[in-house]
Amino acid sequence: MTYQEAIDWLYELRLSGSKLGLEKPTHLASVAENPQEKLKIIHVAGTNGKGSVCAMLESIYRTAGYKTGLFTSPHLVSFRERIQVNRTLISKEDVVRKVGTMKIRAQQYSKGDAPTFFEVITIMALEYFVECDCDIVLLETGLGGRLDATNIVNPIATVITPISFDHQQFLGETIEEIAGEKAGIIKPSIPVYCANQQASVTEVIEQVARDRNAPFKLVADRETNTALPGRHQRENAALAKMVVEGAGITVSALSIPQGLGEVQWQGRLECVQSGPQKFIIDAAHNPAGAQALANFLKEEFTDQRPSLLIGVLADKNWRNSLELLSPLVSSIICVPVGSERGLRPDELATFARLHCESVQSCNSLSEGLEKVVGNPLVVVAGSVYLIGEVMEEFRSAESAQEQGLNDWAIRD
């Protein structure tokens, strides 16, 4: 099996959709001799900030001398970003080896009952982390929490990042229902570390913790310094700091500020200089993310109105996101994203014109980038897909054509 053949097989699983539930991943883990039971895991759920908090925790523990495993989603350019040890991407050779093993195991299932993409890569990652002798694993949920494939683990700590509206068609129409699904990762007697939330969300999470006799800790510090820009990242850093201080893994006094000061997380308020132009690349894809981006622009660029290069998925709340960002920009350039769920740029532009005088619709990202030539400050936002495509443009990244692995649908 070649690396491309391994990716192609994963792509076939992705095309068959996703199915929420723990029966299949539990069985797959059993076949793999339950790697999750051989690892110290911090399990992270939430709507926004999951990946950032995982990256912060990873940086702190690695700084302290521990060997770290990091499992996050979605990826920006390469599938290999999802599975990292000491912030080194899993090698192509190891992807081939692990996919080969998972493919053999998957053959025991009937075609209509095959494991999903996310179920396969969750077990694949856990098994890989055991092989690498990881001291600590930072595990991000995929969708929700209660029925997410990652919820087969028994962690040393449970972390809930800020919860807002997203994936309502799967998690519930109210913020309290969504919170209940996220809180589904809480395990009996395992401490819960929670970000500041609206009162009704905190109440839901705290009640689940009480029901399961799990110690509940709400972050006390409003902000902690970190290398990642934005007030919301300083709030995420305060949460990460609280987790490390309480999780029971010894770190030196300097490891927390040093780890937070050196953390890197691509595509989140990332500034890229391209000649005389500055690009702010941010994966804001829902209103909460757009609000965080808007706050950053208000704080850091009070005397500049950037152009906004935006592409979105049709099933996201892109209208509210655009309403939050439109007052802060001088022009909006609408581009397509490489997903079957992408919204047509002309439809996006029609709505954008209700909120901004200068709006253009483009048929490709390259055309959109041509439109912003000469603009000193450009914000790129709206979709993880778009961020990955832009990163390929700027960094001459290997065009892996693997963004499609981020696409999914719920299987009946």
CATH number of the domain encompassing residue 39 = 3.40.1190.10
Residue 221's pLDDT is what? 85
Q: Residue 5: its pLDDT value, please?
A: 97
Shared domain check, 282 and 152: no
Out of 202, 228, 262, a domain closes at 262
According to DSSP, residue 313 is labeled B
Q: How far apart are CA 25 and CA 147, in angstroms?
A: 10
CATH number, domain with residue 283 = 3.90.190.20
Distance CA 19, CA 227 (A): 37
CA distance 21 to 343: 29
Same domain as 219, residue 179: yes
d(CA 237, CA 160): 13
Distance CA 98, CA 121 (A): 9
CA distance 152 to 139: 11
Residues 243 and 300 in one domain: no
- Dihedral, CA of residue 174, residue 175, residue 179 and residue 181, to nearest 10: 30
Which stretches of 267-344 are DSSP H helices? 287-300, 318-325
Q: CB of 57 within 8 A of CB of 71?
A: no
In this structure, the answer to whether residues 60 and 152 fall within a common structural domain is yes
Q: Is 133 exposed, middle or buried (0-12, 13-18, 19+ CB in 10 A)?
A: exposed
90: in domain: yes
Residues 90 and 194 in one domain: yes
Whether residue 229 sits in one domain with residue 324? no
Q: How far apart are CA 305 and CA 48, in angstroms?
A: 25
From residue 372, alpha-carbon distances to 303, 334, 350, 378 in Å are: 19, 11, 19, 7
253 & 376 share domain: no
In the block, tokens 């804001």 appear at 284
Same domain, 278 and 216: no
Domain residues for the domain of 124 are: 3-262
pTM of the model: 0.93
Q: Using the CB atoms, write b or e for 8-19: b if 16+ within 10 Å.
A: ebbbebbebebb
Evaluate whether residue 411 is within a structural domain: no
Q: Quick one: pLDDT at residue 86?
A: 99
Question: With b meaning 16 or more CB within 10 Å and e meaning fewer, what string describes 182-196?
Answer: bbbbbbeebbbbbbe
240, 275 Cβ separation under 8 angstroms: no
Asked if 209 contacts 203 with a C-beta cutoff of 8 angstroms, the reply is no
In a domain, 132, yes or no: yes
Whether the link from the prior residue into 376 is cis, omega within 30° of 0, is: no
Token pair for 405: 């692995």
The tally of domains found in the chain comes to: 2
Q: Of 262, 296, 319, which residue sits at a domain end?
A: 262
Q: Do residues 162 and 219 share a domain? A: yes
Mean pLDDT by 10 residues, the chain (412 residues): 96 76 95 98 96 98 99 95 98 98 93 89 99 99 92 98 72 85 97 97 98 97 94 97 97 97 95 91 93 95 94 93 97 93 96 97 96 95 92 67 56 46
